[in-house]
Amino acid sequence: MTGVLTAALCTACVGIFVGLFLGAAGIIFKVKTDEREEKVLAALPGNNCGGCGYPGCSGLAAAIVKGEAPVNGCPVGGSEVGDKIAKIMGTESAGSVKQVAFVACMGDCEKAQENYEYVGPKDCRVVDFVPAGGPKACREGCLGGGTCVSVCPFDAIHVINGIAVVDKDACKACGKCVAACPRKLISLVPYDAPHHVACSSHAKGPEVMKACSAGCIGCGLCARNCPAAAVAVTDNLARIDYDKCTGCGVCTEKCPKKVII
C-alpha cells in the first residue's frame, strides 16, 4: 500500500511541476498580438477562400493590421466589410467597386462546332491537353469541363449547355474560378457594368465563323459607332473600357454576331 501511495504522490508532483513549467513557459514565450487583429478577423466573412491573396481570413487580418493589405482587401465582404475594418483601424475606407466573375464565351453546344466527340474526365485542365486542345473547333472557347465549378466555394458557377455560366447574385468575386480556368476565359468585372464582350477568340473573322456562330469577328463596328469611345478592337477582339462605357447600348445594336451582351 505504501508503494502505491508513493507512486501516486510522485505522479502528482510530476504533474504539478509540468503544469507549472508549461504555464510559466506560456507566459514567458507568449507572442503578443495586436488586439485589432482579432477585431478585424471577427469583421471578416470567415469564408477562408483565399481570394484576397492571403492564406485565409486570419492571414488577411494580420496583413491589414501590419499595413500590408488595404482595409477593403476582402473581395467577398466588399465595401460593407471594408468600412467596418476601416473603423477598427481608425482610417477611412477608399471604397471598392463590387465585382463579379464573367465568362467570356457564348460557344455552347448549339453555337460551337466540334471536331470530334470527347469521352474522358470532366476537367478542363485535362481536356485542354487532349488532341487539338479539346473537341471544340475554337481553340480559345470554354471547354465545359467544370473545373471552375469544382473550385467555387459559393456554388456560383455551373456548366450549362456546354459552357460555364456565373450566377451574379451568388458570386462573391473570390477569384478562384479565374485562377482555375486553363484558358483564362474568366475575369472579374464590375457588377454594374452594362455590357460585356462574350468572346475570347483572337482568330480572324473567317476562322472564327467556321468554329462558332457566336464569336467576335473583329469587324470594328462596335468601336466605330461607340459615342463614348469605350470600345476598341485589339488583335481581332473587341474590348470595353468599363470606365468610359455609358451603357448606351450602341455597341450591342451594331454587333453583327451579337457577342456584346
Domain extents in the chain: 35-89, 97-191, 193-261
Instruction: Give dist(CA 2, CA 125) in Å, integer.
Output: 71
For residue 204, what pLDDT is reported?
Answer: 94
For 71, residues 6+ apart whose C-beta sits below 8 A from its C-beta are 64, 82, 85, 86, 89, 91, 93, 94
For residue 94, what pLDDT is reported?
Answer: 64
Note the CATH number of domain 97-191.
3.30.70.20
Instruction: Give dist(CA 91, CA 128) in Å, integer.
Output: 46
CATH topology of domain 35-89: 3-methyladenine DNA Glycosylase II; Chain A, domain 3 (1.10.15)
For residue 82, what pLDDT is reported?
Answer: 84
For residue 18, what pLDDT is reported?
Answer: 65
Do 35-89 and 97-191 come out as alike in CATH topology? Answer: no
DSSP 199-233: ----S-HHHHHHHBTT------HHHHH-TT--EEE
Q: What is the number of helices (H) and of strands (E) in the chain? A: 10, 6
For residue 56, what pLDDT is reported?
Answer: 84
CATH of 193-261, one of 3.40.50.720, 3.90.660.10, 3.10.20.30, 3.30.70.20: 3.30.70.20
The tens place of each residue's pLDDT in the chain, 261 residues long, gives 566 666 666 676 666 766 666 666 555 655 556 788 888 888 888 888 887 878 888 888 888 888 888 888 888 887 788 888 888 888 876 666 789 999 999 999 999 999 998 888 889 999 988 888 889 999 999 999 999 999 999 999 999 999 999 999 999 888 899 999 999 999 999 999 999 999 999 999 999 999 999 999 999 999 999 999 999 999 999 999 999 999 999 999 999 999 999
